[in-house]
Amino acid sequence: MATSSDFKSIAEQRLKTVEFLMANQEWGVAVYIMGFVLECVLKTLTCKVLNLSTYPEVQSTKNQKITSYFLTHDFDMLLIISGASQIFGLSGEGASSWSGFTQEYTKSGAWTSIRYEAICKFDEKTTRKLYAYLTAEPDGIIPILERKELW
């Protein structure tokens, strides 16, 4: 499975893809990939915090409960195992960016279902707002993690 550096590299590459898609007004796909970026960011943190050489795979443990914590796309679950709850929790400095991104993003259910939607629910304004929550200085999710030297 991927290492912390692999996830970071993937996230950085996908952010470039998001920028390309936004420039070409592909709002739905850009939003979907932003979710993937956040997932990779959180998995990067998880590897660092838990001092894991690679992110756990399906067969990494016989305990199914432990495996289910890692094999998820759920942002809140990933936030907990990444150790970043104190940063993005209700009273954390990144609370507004986290809640802005995740609430808007998951309004209609699981974010992974976006890829199956025939009609895009995200317009330019919402897509740009989500991108700002993720990347804008100084309070975006990624800039906060960079300042804390976690990213």
- Domain range annotation of the chain: 4-147
pLDDT tens digits for range 52-80: 898 887 655 566 666 667 778 889 889 99
Compute the distance between CA of residue 106 and CA of residue 119 in angstroms, rounded to an integer.
Answer: 16
The CA angle 25-126-112, to the nearest 5 degrees, is: 85
pLDDT at 126 over 60: yes
Compute the distance between CA of residue 12 and CA of residue 14 in angstroms, rounded to an integer.
Answer: 5
Instruction: Report the mean per-residue pLDDT for the chain.
Output: 88
**Dihedral Cα 30, 33, 39, 45, nearest 10 deg:** -80
pTM of the model: 0.89
Please tell me the class of the 4-147 domain: mainly alpha
